[in-house]
Structure 1
Protein backbone atom coordinates (compact mmCIF):
# COMPACT_ATOMS: atom_id res chain seq x y z
CA UNK A 1 0.00 0.00 0.00
CA UNK A 2 2.87 2.46 0.13
CA UNK A 3 4.58 2.42 -3.27
CA UNK A 4 5.67 5.33 -5.44
CA UNK A 5 3.68 8.53 -5.26
CA UNK A 6 2.15 10.23 -8.25
CA UNK A 7 4.22 12.89 -9.98
CA UNK A 8 1.95 15.63 -8.68
CA UNK A 9 2.33 14.43 -5.11
CA UNK A 10 6.11 14.17 -5.36
CA UNK A 11 6.26 17.78 -6.45
CA UNK A 12 4.11 18.96 -3.57
CA UNK A 13 5.50 16.65 -0.90
CA UNK A 14 9.22 16.84 -1.56
CA UNK A 15 9.64 17.13 2.20
CA UNK A 16 7.55 14.86 4.37
CA UNK A 17 8.74 13.42 7.65
CA UNK A 18 7.47 10.33 9.45
CA UNK A 19 7.34 9.89 13.22
CA UNK A 20 6.59 6.43 14.59
CA UNK A 21 5.60 6.51 18.26
CA UNK A 22 7.19 3.56 20.04
CA UNK A 23 7.95 4.79 23.57
CA UNK A 24 5.17 2.95 25.38
CA UNK A 25 5.87 0.22 27.90
CA UNK A 26 3.09 -2.20 26.90
CA UNK A 27 2.21 -3.05 30.49
CA UNK A 28 -1.04 -4.90 29.66
CA UNK A 29 0.58 -7.05 26.99
CA UNK A 30 3.63 -7.73 29.17
CA UNK A 31 1.39 -9.06 31.95
CA UNK A 32 -0.46 -11.29 29.47
CA UNK A 33 2.78 -12.66 28.04
CA UNK A 34 4.23 -13.40 31.47
CA UNK A 35 1.08 -15.29 32.43
CA UNK A 36 0.68 -17.15 29.13
CA UNK A 37 0.90 -20.95 29.19
CA UNK A 38 2.46 -21.33 25.75
CA UNK A 39 6.23 -20.88 25.49
CA UNK A 40 5.86 -19.17 22.11
CA UNK A 41 4.28 -16.25 23.96
CA UNK A 42 6.15 -16.24 27.27
CA UNK A 43 9.44 -15.89 25.39
CA UNK A 44 8.16 -12.62 23.93
CA UNK A 45 7.96 -10.95 27.34
CA UNK A 46 10.29 -7.98 27.28
CA UNK A 47 9.96 -7.41 23.52
CA UNK A 48 8.51 -3.93 22.82
CA UNK A 49 5.20 -4.04 20.97
CA UNK A 50 6.51 -2.53 17.71
CA UNK A 51 9.20 -5.22 17.54
CA UNK A 52 6.89 -8.16 18.16
CA UNK A 53 6.98 -10.66 15.29
CA UNK A 54 3.90 -10.29 13.10
CA UNK A 55 3.91 -12.93 10.41
CA UNK A 56 7.55 -13.06 9.39
CA UNK A 57 8.85 -9.64 10.48
CA UNK A 58 8.60 -7.17 13.39
CA UNK A 59 5.38 -5.15 13.33
CA UNK A 60 7.17 -1.84 12.75
CA UNK A 61 9.00 -3.26 9.73
CA UNK A 62 5.75 -3.34 7.76
CA UNK A 63 5.72 0.44 7.92
CA UNK A 64 9.42 1.01 7.35
CA UNK A 65 9.73 -1.40 4.44
CA UNK A 66 6.97 0.49 2.69
CA UNK A 67 7.97 4.02 3.69
CA UNK A 68 11.62 3.68 2.69
CA UNK A 69 10.65 3.17 -0.94
CA UNK A 70 8.83 6.48 -1.20
CA UNK A 71 10.52 9.41 -2.90
CA UNK A 72 8.54 11.91 -0.83
CA UNK A 73 9.65 10.49 2.54
CA UNK A 74 12.91 12.08 3.69
CA UNK A 75 13.31 10.71 7.21
CA UNK A 76 11.69 8.15 9.47
CA UNK A 77 12.01 8.90 13.19
CA UNK A 78 11.22 6.21 15.76
CA UNK A 79 10.78 7.43 19.34
CA UNK A 80 11.37 4.87 22.06
CA UNK A 81 12.53 4.87 25.68
CA UNK A 82 15.70 4.01 27.56
CA UNK A 83 14.43 0.54 28.44
CA UNK A 84 14.03 -0.51 24.80
CA UNK A 85 16.48 1.83 23.08
CA UNK A 86 19.17 -0.79 22.44
CA UNK A 87 16.62 -3.21 20.97
CA UNK A 88 15.40 -0.59 18.50
CA UNK A 89 18.96 0.45 17.62
CA UNK A 90 19.80 -3.16 16.80
CA UNK A 91 16.66 -3.50 14.66
CA UNK A 92 17.40 -0.20 12.87
CA UNK A 93 20.83 -1.39 11.72
CA UNK A 94 19.00 -2.78 8.69
CA UNK A 95 17.39 0.59 7.96
CA UNK A 96 19.76 3.51 7.30
CA UNK A 97 16.70 5.72 6.70
CA UNK A 98 15.59 5.32 10.34
CA UNK A 99 16.70 7.53 13.21
CA UNK A 100 15.97 6.11 16.68
CA UNK A 101 15.37 8.67 19.43
CA UNK A 102 15.55 7.89 23.16
CA UNK A 103 13.01 9.81 25.25
CA UNK A 104 15.15 9.25 28.35
CA UNK A 105 12.54 7.44 30.46
CA UNK A 106 12.90 3.96 31.94
CA UNK A 107 9.52 3.19 33.50
CA UNK A 108 5.85 3.57 32.60
CA UNK A 109 5.40 5.94 35.54
CA UNK A 110 7.89 8.46 34.16
CA UNK A 111 6.80 8.21 30.51
CA UNK A 112 6.60 11.46 28.58
CA UNK A 113 3.45 10.61 26.65
CA UNK A 114 2.88 10.35 22.91
CA UNK A 115 2.41 14.07 22.24
CA UNK A 116 5.56 15.00 24.16
CA UNK A 117 7.48 12.35 22.21
CA UNK A 118 6.27 13.92 18.97
CA UNK A 119 7.42 17.33 20.16
CA UNK A 120 10.79 15.85 21.14
CA UNK A 121 11.38 14.89 17.50
CA UNK A 122 10.06 18.20 16.17
CA UNK A 123 12.45 20.19 18.36
CA UNK A 124 15.50 17.97 18.05
CA UNK A 125 15.36 17.84 14.26
CA UNK A 126 13.78 21.26 13.70
CA UNK A 127 10.94 19.84 11.69
CA UNK A 128 8.88 22.38 9.77
CA UNK A 129 7.50 20.11 7.05
CA UNK A 130 4.39 17.98 6.74
CA UNK A 131 4.48 15.06 9.16
CA UNK A 132 2.96 11.58 9.16
CA UNK A 133 2.49 10.29 12.71
CA UNK A 134 2.01 6.52 13.16
CA UNK A 135 1.36 4.49 16.30
CA UNK A 136 4.06 1.84 16.53
CA UNK A 137 1.59 -0.82 17.71
CA UNK A 138 -0.89 -0.33 14.86
CA UNK A 139 -1.47 -2.08 11.53
CA UNK A 140 -4.43 -1.92 9.15
CA UNK A 141 -6.36 -4.41 7.06
CA UNK A 142 -5.14 -4.94 3.54
CA UNK A 143 -7.74 -2.71 1.94
CA UNK A 144 -5.83 0.27 3.35
CA UNK A 145 -3.60 2.01 0.81
CA UNK A 146 -1.31 4.80 1.92
CA UNK A 147 -1.17 6.10 -1.61
CA UNK A 148 -4.91 6.76 -1.48
CA UNK A 149 -4.52 8.59 1.82
CA UNK A 150 -1.73 10.81 0.56
CA UNK A 151 -3.50 11.58 -2.69
CA UNK A 152 -6.54 12.65 -0.67
CA UNK A 153 -4.28 14.80 1.49
CA UNK A 154 -2.82 16.42 -1.62
CA UNK A 155 -6.33 17.26 -2.80
CA UNK A 156 -7.15 18.79 0.57
CA UNK A 157 -3.99 20.91 0.47
CA UNK A 158 -4.99 22.32 -2.89
CA UNK A 159 -8.14 23.67 -1.30
CA UNK A 160 -6.61 24.69 2.05
CA UNK A 161 -2.91 24.62 2.93
CA UNK A 162 -3.87 24.33 6.61
CA UNK A 163 -5.69 21.00 6.16
CA UNK A 164 -4.86 17.83 8.09
CA UNK A 165 -6.00 14.24 7.54
CA UNK A 166 -6.68 11.33 9.88
CA UNK A 167 -8.18 7.87 9.44
CA UNK A 168 -11.46 6.47 10.69
CA UNK A 169 -13.30 3.15 10.85
CA UNK A 170 -16.59 1.95 12.32
CA UNK A 171 -16.13 0.28 15.69
CA UNK A 172 -18.55 -1.92 17.61
CA UNK A 173 -20.89 -0.48 20.22
CA UNK A 174 -19.01 -2.14 23.07
CA UNK A 175 -15.72 -0.59 21.91
CA UNK A 176 -16.85 3.04 22.10
CA UNK A 177 -15.31 3.58 25.55
CA UNK A 178 -11.90 2.32 24.36
CA UNK A 179 -11.19 4.78 21.54
CA UNK A 180 -11.26 8.35 20.35
CA UNK A 181 -14.55 8.81 18.47
CA UNK A 182 -14.87 11.27 15.58
CA UNK A 183 -17.88 13.41 14.81
CA UNK A 184 -17.92 14.69 11.22
CA UNK A 185 -19.97 16.78 8.84
CA UNK A 186 -21.20 15.82 5.35
CA UNK A 187 -17.78 16.65 3.86
CA UNK A 188 -15.88 14.30 6.23
CA UNK A 189 -14.54 17.31 8.10
CA UNK A 190 -14.14 16.52 11.79
CA UNK A 191 -16.25 18.68 14.08
CA UNK A 192 -15.21 16.98 17.32
CA UNK A 193 -13.17 14.12 18.73
CA UNK A 194 -14.43 12.56 21.94
CA UNK A 195 -11.82 10.61 23.90
CA UNK A 196 -13.29 7.31 25.13
CA UNK A 197 -16.92 8.51 25.41
CA UNK A 198 -19.90 6.48 26.56
CA UNK A 199 -22.27 5.22 23.83
CA UNK A 200 -24.85 7.80 24.94
CA UNK A 201 -22.45 10.75 24.50
CA UNK A 202 -22.51 10.57 20.70
CA UNK A 203 -24.30 8.88 17.83
CA UNK A 204 -21.00 8.48 15.96
CA UNK A 205 -19.21 5.14 15.91
CA UNK A 206 -16.16 6.34 13.98
CA UNK A 207 -12.99 5.38 15.82
CA UNK A 208 -9.74 7.20 15.06
CA UNK A 209 -6.54 5.12 15.01
CA UNK A 210 -3.13 6.70 15.55
CA UNK A 211 -2.29 7.60 11.97
CA UNK A 212 -2.28 11.31 11.19
CA UNK A 213 -1.01 13.49 8.36
CA UNK A 214 -0.33 16.91 9.85
CA UNK A 215 0.20 20.03 7.78
CA UNK A 216 3.44 21.93 8.33
CA UNK A 217 1.20 24.69 9.70
CA UNK A 218 -0.02 22.35 12.42
CA UNK A 219 3.42 21.21 13.58
CA UNK A 220 4.08 24.34 15.73
CA UNK A 221 0.76 23.79 17.52
CA UNK A 222 2.07 20.62 19.18
CA UNK A 223 4.24 22.82 21.41
CA UNK A 224 1.35 25.19 22.03
CA UNK A 225 -0.86 22.29 23.15
CA UNK A 226 1.81 21.05 25.56
CA UNK A 227 2.39 24.54 26.95
CA UNK A 228 -1.32 24.95 27.64
CA UNK A 229 -1.34 21.59 29.42
CA UNK A 230 2.08 21.74 31.09
CA UNK A 231 0.61 21.39 34.58
CA UNK A 232 -1.92 18.73 33.62
CA UNK A 233 -1.44 15.08 34.67
CA UNK A 234 -0.03 12.73 32.05
CA UNK A 235 -3.48 11.19 31.52
CA UNK A 236 -4.72 14.51 30.12
CA UNK A 237 -1.96 14.96 27.55
CA UNK A 238 -0.61 11.47 26.84
CA UNK A 239 -2.89 10.12 24.10
CA UNK A 240 -2.40 11.70 20.66
CA UNK A 241 -6.20 11.82 20.39
CA UNK A 242 -6.22 14.48 23.10
CA UNK A 243 -4.11 16.72 20.88
CA UNK A 244 -6.38 15.96 17.95
CA UNK A 245 -9.52 16.93 19.89
CA UNK A 246 -7.79 20.22 20.75
CA UNK A 247 -6.68 20.72 17.15
CA UNK A 248 -10.02 20.27 15.37
CA UNK A 249 -11.33 23.59 16.70
CA UNK A 250 -8.21 25.39 15.49
CA UNK A 251 -7.36 23.81 12.12
CA UNK A 252 -9.37 21.94 9.49
CA UNK A 253 -9.06 18.18 9.97
CA UNK A 254 -10.65 15.65 7.63
CA UNK A 255 -10.98 11.89 7.85
CA UNK A 256 -10.36 9.05 5.42
CA UNK A 257 -12.37 5.86 6.02
CA UNK A 258 -10.94 2.36 6.21
CA UNK A 259 -12.45 -0.97 7.18
CA UNK A 260 -10.49 -1.65 10.36
CA UNK A 261 -7.21 -1.90 12.19
CA UNK A 262 -5.15 -3.99 14.57
CA UNK A 263 -4.21 -2.34 17.85
CA UNK A 264 -1.79 -4.65 19.63
CA UNK A 265 -2.58 -3.92 23.26
CA UNK A 266 -2.94 -7.35 24.81
CA UNK A 267 -2.24 -10.99 23.98
CA UNK A 268 -5.60 -11.57 22.32
CA UNK A 269 -5.12 -8.67 19.91
CA UNK A 270 -1.53 -9.75 19.22
CA UNK A 271 -2.64 -13.28 18.31
CA UNK A 272 -5.33 -11.93 15.95
CA UNK A 273 -2.87 -9.62 14.22
CA UNK A 274 -0.23 -12.32 13.91
CA UNK A 275 -2.75 -14.80 12.47
CA UNK A 276 -3.85 -12.27 9.87
CA UNK A 277 -0.33 -11.65 8.58
CA UNK A 278 1.43 -14.96 9.20
CA UNK A 279 1.06 -16.27 5.64
CA UNK A 280 1.83 -13.00 3.89
CA UNK A 281 5.14 -12.99 2.05
CA UNK A 282 5.46 -9.79 0.01
CA UNK A 283 5.79 -7.38 2.91
CA UNK A 284 6.49 -4.19 0.88
CA UNK A 285 3.16 -4.63 -0.92
CA UNK A 286 1.36 -4.17 2.38
CA UNK A 287 0.43 -0.49 2.85
CA UNK A 288 1.29 0.53 -0.73
Structure 2
Protein backbone atom coordinates (compact mmCIF):
# COMPACT_ATOMS: atom_id res chain seq x y z
CA UNK A 1 0.00 0.00 0.00
CA UNK A 2 1.26 3.45 -0.99
CA UNK A 3 -0.20 6.85 -0.06
CA UNK A 4 -0.43 9.94 -2.27
CA UNK A 5 -1.37 13.34 -0.85
CA UNK A 6 -2.57 15.84 -3.45
CA UNK A 7 -1.21 19.29 -2.54
CA UNK A 8 -0.67 21.08 -5.85
CA UNK A 9 -3.58 23.52 -5.60
CA UNK A 10 -3.04 27.26 -5.38
CA UNK A 11 -5.75 28.10 -2.82
CA UNK A 12 -7.05 31.08 -4.77
CA UNK A 13 -10.28 31.50 -2.76
CA UNK A 14 -8.49 31.35 0.57
CA UNK A 15 -5.75 33.70 -0.61
CA UNK A 16 -8.36 36.29 -1.56
CA UNK A 17 -9.99 35.97 1.88
CA UNK A 18 -6.67 36.31 3.71
CA UNK A 19 -5.79 39.46 1.79
CA UNK A 20 -9.11 40.97 2.87
CA UNK A 21 -8.75 39.91 6.51
CA UNK A 22 -8.28 42.57 9.17
CA UNK A 23 -6.27 40.48 11.62
CA UNK A 24 -2.51 40.55 11.11
CA UNK A 25 -2.31 36.96 12.31
CA UNK A 26 -4.41 35.89 9.35
CA UNK A 27 -2.57 38.05 6.85
CA UNK A 28 0.65 36.41 8.01
CA UNK A 29 -0.70 33.15 6.52
CA UNK A 30 -0.55 34.59 2.99
CA UNK A 31 1.83 32.43 1.00
CA UNK A 32 1.20 29.33 3.11
CA UNK A 33 -0.21 26.39 1.11
CA UNK A 34 -3.46 25.04 2.53
CA UNK A 35 -1.99 21.68 3.65
CA UNK A 36 0.59 23.55 5.75
CA UNK A 37 -1.87 25.90 7.47
CA UNK A 38 -1.72 25.63 11.27
CA UNK A 39 -4.67 23.60 12.55
CA UNK A 40 -4.89 23.24 16.32
CA UNK A 41 -1.20 24.11 16.57
CA UNK A 42 0.11 21.74 13.88
CA UNK A 43 0.26 21.84 10.06
CA UNK A 44 -2.89 20.27 8.62
CA UNK A 45 -0.93 17.71 6.59
CA UNK A 46 1.01 16.54 9.65
CA UNK A 47 -2.13 14.90 11.02
CA UNK A 48 -2.24 12.73 7.90
CA UNK A 49 1.45 11.89 7.96
CA UNK A 50 1.32 10.76 11.58
CA UNK A 51 -1.70 8.56 10.87
CA UNK A 52 -0.20 7.11 7.68
CA UNK A 53 3.13 6.38 9.34
CA UNK A 54 1.28 4.35 11.97
CA UNK A 55 -0.10 2.14 9.18
CA UNK A 56 2.50 2.26 6.39
CA UNK A 57 6.24 2.39 5.91
CA UNK A 58 7.03 6.15 5.84
CA UNK A 59 8.93 5.77 2.56
CA UNK A 60 5.62 4.81 0.92
CA UNK A 61 4.13 8.30 1.42
CA UNK A 62 4.28 10.74 -1.51
CA UNK A 63 3.21 14.38 -1.78
CA UNK A 64 2.74 16.28 -5.03
CA UNK A 65 2.76 20.08 -4.93
CA UNK A 66 3.65 22.90 -7.34
CA UNK A 67 6.80 24.94 -7.99
CA UNK A 68 5.59 27.86 -5.86
CA UNK A 69 5.11 25.79 -2.71
CA UNK A 70 7.72 23.09 -3.27
CA UNK A 71 10.37 24.67 -1.02
CA UNK A 72 7.85 25.14 1.81
CA UNK A 73 6.90 21.46 1.70
CA UNK A 74 10.55 20.42 1.56
CA UNK A 75 11.27 22.52 4.64
CA UNK A 76 8.28 21.03 6.50
CA UNK A 77 9.23 17.48 5.43
CA UNK A 78 12.53 17.70 7.33
CA UNK A 79 10.43 16.40 10.21
CA UNK A 80 9.47 13.41 8.04
CA UNK A 81 12.64 12.49 6.13
CA UNK A 82 11.16 9.36 4.55
CA UNK A 83 8.27 11.27 2.95
CA UNK A 84 8.83 12.06 -0.75
CA UNK A 85 7.80 15.50 -2.06
CA UNK A 86 7.73 16.29 -5.78
CA UNK A 87 6.60 19.27 -7.88
CA UNK A 88 4.10 19.04 -10.72
CA UNK A 89 6.12 21.64 -12.62
CA UNK A 90 3.46 24.36 -12.63
CA UNK A 91 3.69 27.83 -11.13
CA UNK A 92 0.22 29.35 -11.71
CA UNK A 93 -3.36 28.26 -11.15
CA UNK A 94 -4.04 28.67 -14.86
CA UNK A 95 -1.46 26.06 -15.83
CA UNK A 96 -2.33 23.57 -13.06
CA UNK A 97 -2.39 19.94 -14.09
CA UNK A 98 -5.42 18.96 -12.05
CA UNK A 99 -5.71 16.40 -9.27
CA UNK A 100 -6.03 13.31 -11.47
CA UNK A 101 -3.02 14.29 -13.58
CA UNK A 102 -1.02 14.87 -10.40
CA UNK A 103 -1.93 11.38 -9.24
CA UNK A 104 -0.80 9.95 -12.56
CA UNK A 105 2.45 11.91 -12.29
CA UNK A 106 3.25 10.08 -9.05
CA UNK A 107 2.15 6.71 -10.45
CA UNK A 108 4.44 7.04 -13.47
CA UNK A 109 7.42 8.62 -11.74
CA UNK A 110 7.59 5.94 -9.05
CA UNK A 111 6.28 3.07 -11.20
CA UNK A 112 3.54 2.25 -8.72
CA UNK A 113 1.94 -1.15 -8.97
CA UNK A 114 0.36 -1.22 -5.52
CA UNK A 115 -2.90 -0.39 -3.81
CA UNK A 116 -2.94 3.38 -3.28
CA UNK A 117 -4.53 5.68 -0.70
CA UNK A 118 -5.27 9.08 -2.26
CA UNK A 119 -5.90 12.01 0.09
CA UNK A 120 -6.77 15.64 -0.57
CA UNK A 121 -4.17 17.72 1.25
CA UNK A 122 -6.70 20.36 2.34
CA UNK A 123 -9.11 17.93 4.01
CA UNK A 124 -9.54 16.70 7.59
CA UNK A 125 -12.31 14.61 9.11
CA UNK A 126 -14.20 14.70 12.39
CA UNK A 127 -12.68 12.81 15.29
CA UNK A 128 -14.79 9.68 14.78
CA UNK A 129 -12.65 8.91 11.70
CA UNK A 130 -9.83 6.43 12.23
CA UNK A 131 -7.54 5.44 9.38
CA UNK A 132 -6.94 2.01 10.93
CA UNK A 133 -10.65 1.17 10.81
CA UNK A 134 -10.96 2.26 7.18
CA UNK A 135 -7.97 0.18 6.17
CA UNK A 136 -9.41 -2.86 7.98
CA UNK A 137 -12.64 -2.42 6.03
CA UNK A 138 -10.69 -2.22 2.81
CA UNK A 139 -8.75 -5.39 3.63
CA UNK A 140 -12.06 -7.26 3.95
CA UNK A 141 -13.26 -5.92 0.61
CA UNK A 142 -9.95 -6.69 -1.06
CA UNK A 143 -9.92 -10.25 0.27
CA UNK A 144 -13.31 -10.86 -1.32
CA UNK A 145 -12.46 -9.04 -4.55
CA UNK A 146 -8.97 -7.72 -5.28
CA UNK A 147 -10.41 -5.23 -7.77
CA UNK A 148 -12.51 -3.48 -5.11
CA UNK A 149 -12.02 0.20 -4.28
CA UNK A 150 -13.19 2.15 -1.23
CA UNK A 151 -14.15 5.80 -0.74
CA UNK A 152 -15.55 7.76 2.19
CA UNK A 153 -18.94 9.41 2.40
CA UNK A 154 -20.98 11.57 4.77
CA UNK A 155 -24.45 13.10 4.69
CA UNK A 156 -24.56 16.67 3.43
CA UNK A 157 -27.37 19.22 3.48
CA UNK A 158 -29.70 19.79 0.54
CA UNK A 159 -28.08 23.12 -0.26
CA UNK A 160 -24.59 21.57 -0.26
CA UNK A 161 -25.02 19.09 -3.12
CA UNK A 162 -23.78 21.67 -5.63
CA UNK A 163 -20.45 21.86 -3.78
CA UNK A 164 -19.48 18.20 -3.80
CA UNK A 165 -19.39 14.92 -5.63
CA UNK A 166 -22.58 13.06 -4.62
CA UNK A 167 -22.64 9.28 -4.77
CA UNK A 168 -25.55 6.94 -5.33
CA UNK A 169 -25.26 3.36 -4.08
CA UNK A 170 -27.11 0.07 -3.67
CA UNK A 171 -28.01 -1.79 -0.48
CA UNK A 172 -24.53 -3.36 -0.37
CA UNK A 173 -22.81 0.05 -0.26
CA UNK A 174 -21.55 -0.41 -3.80
CA UNK A 175 -21.59 2.87 -5.67
CA UNK A 176 -23.72 2.91 -8.81
CA UNK A 177 -23.11 6.52 -9.86
CA UNK A 178 -21.32 9.69 -8.79
CA UNK A 179 -22.66 13.07 -9.80
CA UNK A 180 -20.29 16.02 -9.65
CA UNK A 181 -21.92 19.01 -7.91
CA UNK A 182 -25.53 18.22 -8.87
CA UNK A 183 -28.60 20.23 -7.97
CA UNK A 184 -30.49 18.76 -5.02
CA UNK A 185 -33.37 18.07 -7.41
CA UNK A 186 -31.11 15.98 -9.66
CA UNK A 187 -30.51 13.22 -7.10
CA UNK A 188 -32.22 11.75 -4.05
CA UNK A 189 -28.81 11.05 -2.50
CA UNK A 190 -27.13 13.32 0.02
CA UNK A 191 -23.99 11.17 0.27
CA UNK A 192 -21.08 13.58 -0.26
CA UNK A 193 -17.77 12.06 -1.29
CA UNK A 194 -14.60 13.80 -0.02
CA UNK A 195 -11.16 13.31 -1.53
CA UNK A 196 -10.10 10.14 0.26
CA UNK A 197 -9.92 6.98 -1.82
CA UNK A 198 -8.30 3.56 -1.59
CA UNK A 199 -7.68 2.28 -5.09
CA UNK A 200 -6.85 -1.32 -5.87
CA UNK A 201 -3.63 -1.90 -7.80
CA UNK A 202 -5.90 -3.12 -10.60
CA UNK A 203 -7.46 0.34 -10.73
CA UNK A 204 -4.15 2.23 -10.89
CA UNK A 205 -3.66 1.72 -14.69
CA UNK A 206 -7.16 3.10 -15.22
CA UNK A 207 -6.01 6.57 -14.18
CA UNK A 208 -3.94 6.85 -17.34
CA UNK A 209 -6.79 5.40 -19.40
CA UNK A 210 -9.16 8.06 -18.04
CA UNK A 211 -6.72 10.87 -18.81
CA UNK A 212 -6.17 9.58 -22.32
CA UNK A 213 -9.91 9.61 -22.94
CA UNK A 214 -10.14 13.15 -21.55
CA UNK A 215 -6.95 14.53 -23.13
CA UNK A 216 -8.84 17.08 -25.23
CA UNK A 217 -11.38 17.98 -22.54
CA UNK A 218 -11.26 21.24 -20.55
CA UNK A 219 -9.41 20.91 -17.26
CA UNK A 220 -12.67 21.31 -15.32
CA UNK A 221 -13.78 17.95 -16.74
CA UNK A 222 -10.73 16.14 -15.41
CA UNK A 223 -9.43 18.28 -12.53
CA UNK A 224 -11.73 17.06 -9.73
CA UNK A 225 -11.10 13.45 -8.67
CA UNK A 226 -14.88 13.03 -8.61
CA UNK A 227 -14.86 12.98 -12.41
CA UNK A 228 -12.50 10.02 -12.37
CA UNK A 229 -14.65 8.25 -9.77
CA UNK A 230 -17.77 8.81 -11.85
CA UNK A 231 -15.98 7.21 -14.79
CA UNK A 232 -14.54 4.40 -12.64
CA UNK A 233 -17.75 3.14 -10.99
CA UNK A 234 -18.98 1.81 -14.34
CA UNK A 235 -15.76 -0.15 -14.79
CA UNK A 236 -14.64 -1.34 -11.34
CA UNK A 237 -16.40 -2.10 -8.04
CA UNK A 238 -16.31 0.93 -5.74
CA UNK A 239 -17.77 0.86 -2.22
CA UNK A 240 -18.23 3.55 0.40
CA UNK A 241 -17.48 3.79 4.12
CA UNK A 242 -19.55 6.22 6.20
CA UNK A 243 -18.07 8.98 8.33
CA UNK A 244 -19.85 11.79 10.15
CA UNK A 245 -18.28 14.75 8.37
CA UNK A 246 -15.24 16.60 7.14
CA UNK A 247 -13.50 19.94 6.95
CA UNK A 248 -12.66 21.18 3.46
CA UNK A 249 -10.30 24.11 3.94
CA UNK A 250 -11.29 26.07 0.86
CA UNK A 251 -11.89 29.54 2.24
CA UNK A 252 -11.26 31.55 5.40
CA UNK A 253 -14.51 30.56 7.11
CA UNK A 254 -13.87 26.84 6.65
CA UNK A 255 -10.27 27.29 7.84
CA UNK A 256 -11.34 29.06 11.03
CA UNK A 257 -13.98 26.41 11.76
CA UNK A 258 -11.44 23.63 11.30
CA UNK A 259 -8.82 25.34 13.44
CA UNK A 260 -11.34 25.96 16.24
CA UNK A 261 -12.45 22.32 16.17
CA UNK A 262 -8.91 21.12 16.71
CA UNK A 263 -7.83 23.69 19.26
CA UNK A 264 -8.75 21.33 22.10
CA UNK A 265 -6.55 18.66 20.47
CA UNK A 266 -3.37 20.72 20.42
CA UNK A 267 -0.23 18.65 19.98
CA UNK A 268 -2.38 15.55 19.56
CA UNK A 269 -1.69 14.21 16.07
CA UNK A 270 -3.04 10.78 16.94
CA UNK A 271 -6.73 11.40 16.43
CA UNK A 272 -6.76 10.05 12.86
CA UNK A 273 -5.13 6.76 13.81
Find the counterpart in structure 1 of residue 270 from structure 2.
285
Give unpaired runs (5+ residues) of structure 1.
1-15
Find the counterpart in structure 2 of residue 82 from structure 1.
67
| Cα deviation 1:92-111 (Å, max 9, x = unaligned) | 11101210010000000000
Deviation at 1:281, TM superposition (A): 3.4
Task: For 1:268 and 1:71, locate their aligned partners in 2 and report how far apart those are by CA, in whole Å.
Answer: 33
Deviation at 1:283, TM superposition (A): 2.5
Find the counterpart in structure 1 of residue 158 from structure 2.
173
Find the counterpart in structure 2 of residue 162 from structure 1.
147
| Cα deviation 1:143-167 (Å, max 9, x = unaligned) | 0111111111111111111000000
Deviation at 1:69, TM superposition (A): 2.5
Task: For 1:286 and 1:30, locate their aligned partners in 2 and report how far apart those are by CA, in whole Å.
Answer: 28
Give unpaired runs (5+ residues) of structure 2.
none
| Cα deviation 1:211-240 (Å, max 9, x = unaligned) | 000000000000000000001110000000
Return the match for 1:220 from 174, 191, 205.
205
Find the counterpart in structure 1 of residue 23 from structure 2.
38
Q: Which has the higher helix share?
A: 2
Equivalent pairs counted in the alignment come to: 273
1:263 to 2:248 alignment: yes
Cα 1:23/1:98, change in 2 over 3 Å: same
Give the match's secondary structure for 1:84. Answer: helix
Deviation at 1:72, TM superposition (A): 5.7
* Structure 1 contact 18–73 (Cα < 8 Å) conserved: no
1:146 to 2:131 alignment: yes
Give the match's secondary structure for 2:94. Answer: helix
* Structure 1 contact 17–73 (Cα < 8 Å) conserved: no
1:207 to 2:228 alignment: no
Task: For 2:261 and 2:190, locate their aligned partners in 1 and report how far apart those are by CA, in whole Å.
Answer: 24
Give the match's secondary structure for 1:200. Answer: helix
Task: For 2:176 and 2:252, locate their aligned partners in 1 and report how far apart those are by CA, in whole Å.
Answer: 34
Answer with 153-162 or 181-190: which moved more.
153-162
Task: For 2:149 and 2:22, locate their aligned partners in 1 and report how far apart those are by CA, in whole Å.
Answer: 45
Alignment of structure 1 residues 1-288 onto 2, 5 Å: 16-71=1-56, 74-288=59-273
* Structure 1 contact 68–97 (Cα < 8 Å) conserved: no
Give the match's secondary structure for 1:93. Answer: helix
The alignment's C-alpha RMSD in Å is 1.0
| Cα deviation 1:51-87 (Å, max 9, x = unaligned) | 0000111000000012112246651100000010000
Structure 1 length as normaliser, TM-score?
0.93
Task: For 1:200 and 1:215, locate their aligned partners in 2 and report how far apart those are by CA, in whole Å.
Answer: 33
Answer with 73-82 or 145-154: which moved more.
73-82
* Structure 2 contact 210–228 (Cα < 8 Å) conserved: yes
* Structure 2 contact 2–56 (Cα < 8 Å) conserved: no
